[in-house]
Amino acid sequence: MTRSTSRPTQRQVRTGQRGVHLVAGALVAAYVYAAPELSDTALAVVRWLVLPVLVLSGLALWQWTRVRRALRRRGGRP
């Protein structure tokens, strides 16, 4: 028996990354908003720092091609 060693395409890899990112974000949000035993400071840091960063990184994963194209138009070289 020979095993197929086909590699996933870049599109499949990115789709997998997006899915994992979205699931992780949902889990973090559920944990934060369902965890009353955390201190007020910790909750504030997660709500106002961690979650927005997670959302922005998700958007960057999702729209990276458009972001890169816009940066090239402005003179940047990502």
Distance CA 19, CA 57 (A): 13
Tell me the per-residue pLDDT of 34-72, one tens digit each, with 9 for 90 and over: 766 767 787 777 778 777 877 877 787 788 788 778 878
Question: What is the domain partition of the chain in residue ranges?
Answer: 10-74
Beta-carbon contacts of residue 28 (< 8 Å; ≥ 6 apart): 46, 50, 51, 54
Check pLDDT > 70 for residue 78.
no
pLDDT for 16: 80
Whose CA is closest to 21, among 64, 60, 66, 47? 60
Mean pLDDT within 14-28: 79
Which tokens sit at 6? 């086909």
